[in-house]
Amino acid sequence: MDVTPETVIAANRQQAYQPRALPAAFSQTAGSGGGVPQVTGPDTAFEPQTRPEELVARLPPPVPAEPYRIGVGDVVLLATKTPGTSVEELTGLLAAENRRQGYTVQDDGSIAIPDVGRVRIAEMTLEEAEGVLFQRLLERQIDPSFSLEIAEFNARKVSIGGAVAQPGVAPITLIPLTLDNALAAVGGITAADRDAAVIRIYRDGSLYEVPVKDFLVSPRYQKLRLVDGDSVYVDAEFDLGKAQAYFAEQIELGQFKQASRQSAMQILTQATELRRAQLSEERDNFSARIEHGAEPQDYVYLSGEMKKQGRWPLPYGQVASLADALYESGGGAPNMTADPRQIYVLRASADPREFSGITAWHVDGSSAVGMMMLTRLELRPRDIVFISEQPVTRWGRVVDQLSPNFLGLPGAYVE
Q: What is the pLDDT of residues 53-87, one digit of tens each?
A: 577 888 999 888 889 999 999 999 888 765 544 44
Q: What is the pLDDT of residues 373-399, one digit of tens each?
A: 888 888 989 899 998 888 766 666 655
249, 202 contact by CB (below 8 A): no
Helix (H) or strand (E) holding 180: helix 179-185
Checking if the pLDDT of 164 tops 60, the result is yes
Domains of the chain, by residue range, sit at: 5-20+296-399, 24-39+257-291, 75-152, 157-252
- State the fold for domain 157-252: Outer membrane lipoprotein wza fold like (3.10.560)
CATH 1.10.10.10 fits 5-20+296-399, yes or no: no
Same fold, 5-20+296-399 and 157-252: yes
Q: What is the mean pLDDT of residues 137-150?
A: 84
Confidence of residue 185 (pLDDT cuts 50, 70, 90): very high
Which has the higher per-residue pLDDT, 365 or 97? 365
Checking if the pLDDT of 347 tops 50, the result is yes
pTM for the structure as a whole: 0.42
Which has the higher per-residue pLDDT, 399 or 310? 310
Confidence of residue 322 (pLDDT cuts 50, 70, 90): confident
For residue 337, which of 385, 391, 301 has the smallest C-alpha distance?
391
Q: What is the pLDDT of residues 114-140, one digit of tens each?
A: 888 899 999 999 999 999 999 988 888
The Cα–Cα gap between 8 and 1 comes to: 10
- Which CATH homologous superfamily contains domain 75-152? wza like domain (3.30.1950.10)
153, 169 contact by CB (below 8 A): no
Q: Is 297 exposed, middle or buried (0-12, 13-18, 19+ CB in 10 A)?
A: middle
The dihedral over CA atoms of 257, 259, 264, 265, expressed in degrees to the nearest 10, equals 110
Which has the higher per-residue pLDDT, 31 or 180? 180
For residue 199, which of 156, 161, 155 has the smallest C-alpha distance?
161
